[in-house]
């Protein structure tokens, strides 16, 4: 069996775990896809094929990159880690890019993906207890 790319493994994990399929929204960028939360319809991950120079990286070969939603506090520490970059094409305070070249392990990506998915889930409204006498 051919060794699957990290992009393929993560895409398969998303489909198996969250039941969401990649949506290819851009005809001019057939390698770019997004994943939406089924309930809120908000994006929680975006897969892109990007030239390294657009990410201020060396090299000529197109990279697979995944953007995920992340807390700004986590982004600061993740950016110090190999394989994590400021979000490409997204709000850099709320998103981070992960280069899918196996420099970040699947085991590191999966909990971050889970946080991203949960962060766009519809918020549950808490019922406020009514004050006595109303």
pLDDT digits (tens, 9 = 90+) for 75-92: 999 999 999 999 998 999
d(CA 69, CA 92): 10
Q: Nearest 5°: CA angle at 58, between 55 and 60?
A: 95
pLDDT for position 127: 62
Over 70: is that where the pLDDT of 61 sits? yes
State yes or no: pLDDT of 1 exceeds 60. Answer: no
Q: What does the pLDDT average to over 45-61?
A: 94
In the chain, where the domains are located? 6-116
Burial of 84 (0-12, 13-18, 19+ CB in 10 A): buried
Q: Which CATH architecture has domain 6-116?
A: Alpha-Beta Complex (3.90)
Confirm whether pTM is higher than 0.95.
Answer: no
CA nearest to 10, candidates 58, 63, 46: 46
39-65 average pLDDT score: 95
């Amino acid at each position: 069996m051919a060794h699957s790319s990290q992009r393929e493994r993560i895409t398969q994990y998303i489909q198996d775990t969250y039941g969401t399929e990649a949506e290819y929204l851009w005809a001019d960028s057939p390698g770019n896809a997004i994943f939406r939360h089924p309930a809120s319809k908000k994006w929680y991950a975006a897969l892109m094929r990007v030239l390294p120079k657009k990410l201020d990286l060396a090299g000529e070969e197109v990279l697979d990159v995944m953007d995920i939603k992340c807390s700004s506090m986590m982004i600061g520490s993740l950016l110090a880690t190999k394989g994590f970059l400021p979000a490409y094409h997204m709000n850099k305070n709320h998103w981070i890019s992960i280069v899918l070249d196996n420099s970040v392990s699947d085991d590191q990506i999966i909990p971050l993906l889970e946080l991203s998915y949960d962060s766009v889930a519809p918020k549950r409204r808490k019922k406020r207890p009514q004050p006595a006498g109303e």
